[in-house]
Amino acid sequence: MREYRKQGREWLKQEQERIEQHKETAVQMDIWRKQIHADRVAEIFSVLREFHNFLIRSVHIDKTFGPGRDYSAFGNISLHPEGRIFPEYLALQEAYYLSYLVSDPLAAFMKERMTEADGLQRVNDSEEFHRKLMEFGRIQDGCED
């Protein structure tokens, strides 16, 4: 009888140790999850900044994007299907899809940014284009504060 009690106490002690290890592992996994989440959020906002810089550079310096053009090298992918799409726009699309894995609020925010970015394509009216570009920049600048 004494041996059974000793085995029972030993089993109980081992079970409590397993529970403690499980709790420690759960805490560590939560830390890792938060770190991964933070890394993905930082990555997404970095892509947004890079895309904004691309817009400024391509509209005002390189003149590779502007009124009446899309995000392709020739300015109209439907007329030049062999043309390449700018990598900054592709990165923005990837960040948009990644945002759905991070959180619903971030996905909603990125959906708005994608809608605005897509809204800049093929806008023929120069004034409307620059108004939309300034709006995109204003919102982007607000993200960095």
Domain presence at residue 90: yes
Of the chain, the percentage scoring pLDDT greater than 70 comes to 95
Q: How confident is the prediction along the chain (145 residues), in pLDDT tens digits per residue?
A: 788 888 888 998 999 999 999 999 888 888 888 888 899 999 999 999 999 999 999 999 999 999 999 998 888 877 777 778 999 999 999 999 999 999 999 999 999 999 999 999 989 999 999 999 988 887 666 554 4
Q: Is residue 115 part of a domain?
A: yes
Predicted local confidence at residue 1, as pLDDT:
72
Domain of 134?
44-143
pTM exceeding 0.95: no
In a domain, 105, yes or no: yes
Give the number of domains in the chain: 1
Chain centre distance of CA 85 = 19
Average per-residue pLDDT for the chain:
89
Q: Is 66 among the domain residues?
A: yes
